[in-house]
Amino acid sequence: MSEYIEHDKNGVSVGLVEKKFYGFAEPPHEMTLDSGRKLGPVTIAYETYGRLDRDKSNAVLILHALSGDSHVAGYYSREDPRPGWWDIMVGPGKGIDTEKYFVVCSNILGSCMGSTGPVSIHPETGRPYGLDFPFVTIGDMVRAQKALMDHLGVERILSVVGGSIGGMQVLEWCVRYPEMVLSAIPLATTSKHSALAIAFNEVARQAIMADPRWNSGSYYDGPRPDLGLAVARMIGHITYLSDESMRLKFGRRLQGKNNFSFNFDADFQVESYLRYQGKRFVERFDANSFLYITKAADYYDLEIQHDSGSLVKAFSKARAKFLVVSFTSDWLYPTYQSRTLVRAMKKNGLDVSFCEIEAKWGHDAFLMPNERLTALIRGFLERVRRESRE
Amino acid sequence: MSEYIEHDKNGVSVGLVEKKFYGFAEPPHEMTLDSGRKLGPVTIAYETYGRLDRDKSNAVLILHALSGDSHVAGYYSREDPRPGWWDIMVGPGKGIDTEKYFVVCSNILGSCMGSTGPVSIHPETGRPYGLDFPFVTIGDMVRAQKALMDHLGVERILSVVGGSIGGMQVLEWCVRYPEMVLSAIPLATTSKHSALAIAFNEVARQAIMADPRWNSGSYYDGPRPDLGLAVARMIGHITYLSDESMRLKFGRRLQGKNNFSFNFDADFQVESYLRYQGKRFVERFDANSFLYITKAADYYDLEIQHDSGSLVKAFSKARAKFLVVSFTSDWLYPTYQSRTLVRAMKKNGLDVSFCEIEAKWGHDAFLMPNERLTALIRGFLERVRRESRE
């Protein structure tokens, strides 16, 4: 079942959703990856919300970032304590209104949230792939999503929406399958990582690989590289915030003590926060998946991916209408990178709306409640829908 | 010997210097630290350059940052491949002219470059302190420097100069020993770490402590936590650069290959650079010292250190003339933090010059060749010297 069934008194969706799986494609059940290697069988975990209308014109595909999953909104059960990762945006009456749109979200290839990745069983050995898992690119992730859309009978997508690494997939969709994509909303993203973004990812990877429990990726039978993965996540969390948001959120406040410990305990609240985020992350995420997905993001370069050597040429294939959004305090994918995208789109005469939203919360801003963002997305989808019927 | 003896044809100093040691103080050879614990015996490694003049009025004290040492300029021998860490600024005819000034630089307490720190022998056990080393604060470091100045017979210091954590020591000198300090040059620094700066330090510490070879700080008899310390250093290096400097220095250039490796090798030059910096660092630095010094920097808060609860009140004790310098692309100690310092100084009627230097190189800018910085420091020292004689 894939519909919202009721709302609570506060209007918060308590609709139940179910994670589904799609094994593709037709035999031989495998895909040839950008690296040239073959991968199969391939399973894609996905969720859908709302109903595909009769003329199949209301599909919205949401693409998640590094550590996300297909559970974009709603709850799995009445006891489920937390809704999906973008429940503030997706649901009945929300910015992406599941009473109007048929929303699809799938877990990316290489992840560990149900889709095939390094934690999956290697058919040749009967054991988890580990580092035998082939490299996957942003392009490979998008091709797997395309197979899922084919399976769901969706031939044209009203909008592809995503932030961060999800935004890279949005851009890739527009260039790789231009005839399928009516509109696109890339949020807080870039067509290629800066040296700074690569540097942060590389240090995070080094933290994982420095953990002896990582054991060259073969740890599924024993203890996992939790300490290394926690450090990697802590590095990530710093890049998702901003100087200002950390000052507002933590400042120099101490952790339940009036004095310094004069040892290596967490004295400051920001230290406890990071340690907590690290610990929580290792309970739900796989270290090898972290390595594969960050490397895929680092490799991504839209203009090279499409053999054109120019971002303007790369977008010459696109047909979508765009809503590009950046956030003032995002220093991982700063506004100048969105402006570069917008310029290349406009040089191709594409229909582009661009908005830089004033926000304190750094890169994380795209996931935080923001009335302006909600209104922008709602209005853009309504316009695209209306124009698609004209 | 502590003088420059010759110049090469390019005017680069090839003067030889010698590292010296000072054990203090008078028996019982120990100091009581800010934490209340006692430490002794205490050794301070230092170097001097130039000559103290007859009226002892030309001493310049240079204070180093996290991983620095007393070797601020010159060479130890004719075969020495590299000069001291600020050789571009310190030497005959340079910004801090050793023909005019008597320059002193000492290694900070808690470090591993000759002064007493966690790698030193604990007199009670005959083995390296490790985590038995007591916590030291920025204030403790400064008190050790004061003892050294007493030993050298310097009663008034023409200028205390330092960047980053060295700049914190500069500020501490001005407030703790106001009668001794005629002028001060805090570069790229702050009166207290932001949550962001604490966060980076904490993740770096976690990287060290996650390394099983760290072994709660007891590793001096066996393998060292090189992998953890390398990750910690890599994190540091990112914060020393800037988005722009990394784009200029590395961009997305690949490491001697035309194609991606599709494995976890260093594909990008920025990855190789970071790995190299990490590897080089572990050859010269001690992991426990890294923990102690970063924690001392995180703890430092000038207004609390002096029980005033206000930066304006803290500076009410200072008498020095100030040259405060920040750098446009420094996001570890951004310009707004220097402006906060300057405001508090000015409210006390202090003689303050402030300059934000346009620089691409991020926090590292204070160590890079910069004609403007050199001219500023040279001019400021000349003015202070002249005025001190009037």
In the predicted model, is pLDDT for residue B3 greater than 60?
A: no
Helix (H) or strand (E) holding B244: helix B243-249
In chain A, residues 323-352 whose CB comes closer than 8 Å to chain B: 331, 334
Q: Quick one: pLDDT at residue A257?
A: 67
> Which of B199, B247, B260 comes nearest A195 by C-beta?
B247
Q: Quick one: pLDDT at residue A22?
A: 84
CB contact under 8 A, A195 and B246: yes
CATH assignment of the domain containing B278: 1.10.1740.110
Helix (H) or strand (E) holding B311: helix B311-315
Q: Phi and psi of A73, rounded to 5°?
A: -160, 170
B153 shares a domain with B277:
no
Q: Phi and psi of A240, rounded to 5°?
A: -80, -20
Domain finish residue from A266, A293, A320: A293
The number of C-alpha atoms within 13 Å of B184 and in the hemisphere containing its C-beta is: 32
Do the domain assignments include residue B14? no
Number of domains forming the structure of chain A: 2
Q: Quick one: pLDDT at residue A304?
A: 85
List pLDDT tens digits, range A203-258: 999 999 999 999 999 999 999 999 999 999 999 999 999 999 999 999 999 987 67
Do the domain assignments include residue B272? yes
A187 shares a domain with A283:
no
Do the domain assignments include residue B12? no
Do the domain assignments include residue B4? no
Amino acid (1-letter code) at residue B273: Y
Q: Quick one: pLDDT at residue A176?
A: 96
Do the domain assignments include residue A239? yes
Amino acid (1-letter code) at residue B371: E
A90 shares a domain with A122:
yes
In the predicted model, is pLDDT for residue B256 greater than 80?
A: no
User: How many Cβ atoms sit within 10 Å of the Cβ of residue A270?
Assistant: 29
A204 shares a domain with A140:
no
Residues B232, B295 contacting (CB under 8 angstroms): no
List pLDDT tens digits, range B10-52: 444 446 788 888 886 555 678 999 999 999 999 999 999 999 9
B286 shares a domain with B149:
no
B183 shares a domain with B69:
yes
> Which of B194, B243, B301 comes nearest A194 by C-beta?
B243
Do the domain assignments include residue B378? yes
Tell me which chain B residues have a C-beta less than 8 angstroms from the C-beta of A211: 210
pLDDT band of B309, cuts 50, 70, 90: confident
Which residue blocks in A190-334 are alpha helix, DSSP H? 195-210, 226-240, 243-249, 269-282, 287-299, 302-305, 311-315
CB-based contact (8 Å) between A276 and chain B? no
pLDDT band of B77, cuts 50, 70, 90: confident
Cα–Cα distance measured from residue B384 to residue A289, given in angstroms and rounded to the nearest whole number: 59
List pLDDT tens digits, range B320-340: 999 999 999 999 999 999 999
Predicted-complex ipTM score: 0.92
Question: Which two tokens mark B260?
Answer: 């991606």
Cα–Cα distance measured from residue A201 to residue A185, given in angstroms and rounded to the nearest whole number: 24
Residues of B serving a catalytic function are: 164, 330, 363
The percent of chain B in helix, strand and coil, each rounded to the nearest 5, is 40, 15, 45
In chain B, residues 138-197 whose CB comes closer than 8 Å to chain A: 192-196
> Which of B199, B230, B243 comes nearest A270 by C-beta?
B199
By C-alpha distance, the chain A residue nearest B267 is: A299
B188 shares a domain with B212:
no
By C-alpha distance, the chain A residue nearest B247 is: A195
Cα–Cα distance measured from residue B176 to residue B160, given in angstroms and rounded to the nearest whole number: 13
Q: Quick one: pLDDT at residue A356?
A: 98
CB-based contact (8 Å) between A260 and chain B? yes
Cα–Cα distance measured from residue A38 to residue A25, given in angstroms and rounded to the nearest whole number: 13
Q: Quick one: pLDDT at residue A309?
A: 82
Q: What's the rounded mean pLDDT across residues B112-119?
A: 97
B186 shares a domain with B99:
yes
A358 shares a domain with A221:
no
Domain finish residue from A293, A318, A333: A293
A29 is catalytic: no
B247 shares a domain with B111:
no
CB contact under 8 A, B195 and A252: yes
In the predicted model, is pLDDT for residue B154 greater than 90?
A: yes
Q: Quick one: pLDDT at residue B230?
A: 98
Do the domain assignments include residue B276? yes
Domain interval for residue A257? 198-293
CB-based contact (8 Å) between B220 and chain A? no
Domain finish residue from A293, A309, A343: A293
B377 shares a domain with B316:
yes
Phi-psi region of A56 (alpha: psi -120 to 50; beta: other; left: phi over 0): left
List pLDDT tens digits, range B191-216: 999 999 999 999 999 999 999 999 99
Tell me which chain B residues have a C-beta less than 8 angstroms from the C-beta of A277: none
Positions in chain A whose pLDDT score sits under 70: 1-15, 24-28, 257
Cα–Cα distances in angstroms (integers) from residue A283 to residues A230, A242, A277, in the given order: 10, 25, 10
In chain B, residues 299-328 whose CB comes closer than 8 Å to chain A: 299, 301
CATH assignment of the domain containing A339: 3.40.50.1820
Helix (H) or strand (E) holding B227: helix B226-240
In the predicted model, is pLDDT for residue B181 greater than 70?
A: yes
Do the domain assignments include residue B2? no
CB-based contact (8 Å) between B230 and chain A? yes
In chain A, residues 91-130 whose CB comes closer than 8 Å to chain B: none
A90 shares a domain with A175:
yes
CB-based contact (8 Å) between B262 and chain A? yes
Q: DSSP of B61-128, one letter per residue? A: EEE--TT--S--SSBSSTT-SS--TTTTTEETTSSEETTT-EEEEEPPTT-SSSSSSTTSBPTTTSSB
